[in-house]
Amino acid sequence: MNLDSSAFSRRDVLKTTLLFSSGLLAGGWASRLQAATAKTDFGQGGLHLLAVGDYGTANAEQKKVADCMNSFAGKLRSPLSAVLALGDNFYGMMTPERFQPGFEQMYSKEHLDCPFYALLGNHDYGPQYDSKQGRAKADMQLDYAKANPTSRWKMPAKWYSFELGAPDKPLVKVIYLDGNNFEGALTPQEKIDQKRWLEAEMQKKTSAKWLWVVSHYPLFSDTTKRGDKEGAKLVENWGAYLREKPVSLYLSGHDHNLQHLRVEGYQPSFLVSGGGGAHRYEVQQSDRGFSMQTRGFNHIHVTEDKLTVQLINPDGQRLHAFERNLKGETTILTV
């Protein structure tokens, strides 16, 4: 896939939006009220991933979500390829000693023995939040990854990319971005460097079938008190790529709930998975998709021709699910 030429036309975007809307009318919202046990039988083949954000609370709620992730992964026919860790990895004062109870022991190796690709959220910097540690808190997380290469914790940089699948035939390319714009997070030079890096990354050729973009912050949100306001700057910075490039998923946390939105004119399905353990944020219903004030995580099964996404609560119940093909056509699953 050459990222320099979009695989989708404007007609495809409109078609996807219409399919998404009709799926909601046909029962997408109903699935919100008819939770069922999450699906674990996807046959052979494909990759399985989990995504979770806003989890670093060190409380019973984080443990419940972590245990559910482990239990769910154990029921899959093949092991997980990765967990996408969407930021706010550690709330409060950070010390290196927190990695053992807060990560290594919290997420059991029994069925979660795979890379956790992590990025930094607002609470992972902390100058205007809980710890007042500033960039030192972020540096501890970067340093842990460097000092412990055999750990599941992967954070090679504040922004980076990786591919999943066979080394000679990757299935997914994932781009991680640091969206922290407040004073005390990225320096002015780092913002320039990330912008240049992203432009170069989007020009690279890849044989991967799928392209995902991941950041802590949602560009669009149906969270009641936040809405789209906090994502406005990121829309300004990254929106053109998400309108013009073949990005199938944009994953984020930050808002403490679960959402799946489709925004007209944009290529990706927008996922918010901020239910890893922190207090829950109220949501408002809209015609853009699904949202629920709940903790939980996402499961993604991806093959060469489609991806299937489930939004799962801490009891292992599937609250919402959809399929998306390479053309961007999205179908809401109701059974």
Burial 91-115 (b: 16+ CB within 10 A, else e): beebeeebbeebbeebbbeebbebb
Separation in Å, CA 29 to CA 34, 224, 263, 311, 315 = 9, 18, 17, 13, 20
Answer with the residue of higher pLDDT: 93 or 299: 299
Residues, the chain: 335
φ/ψ region of 198 (left if φ > 0, alpha if ψ in -120 to 50, else beta) reads: alpha
Whole-number Å distance between alpha carbons of 91 and 130: 7
| Gap between the Cα atoms of 30 and 333, Å rounded | 10
Contact yes or no for 43/290 (Cβ under 8 A): no
Q: Which pLDDT tens digit goes with each residue over 66-88?
A: 999 999 999 999 999 999 999 99
Count of other CB atoms within 10 angstroms of residue 171: 19
Confirm if 299 and 309 have CB atoms less than 8 A apart. yes
Q: What's the confidence (pLDDT) of residue 103?
A: 98
Tokens read off for 269: 């399905």
Class of domain 10-333: alpha beta
Over the stretch 17-63, which tens digit does the pLDDT of each residue have?
Answer: 434 443 443 333 434 446 899 999 998 899 999 999 999 999 999 99
Model pLDDT for residues 186-237, shown as the tens digit of each residue = 999 999 999 999 999 999 999 999 999 999 999 999 988 887 888 899 999 9
pLDDT level of residue 164 (50, 70, 90 thresholds): very high
* Residue whose token pair is 């995902």: 212
Where along the chain do its domains lie?
10-333
What does pTM read for this prediction?
0.90
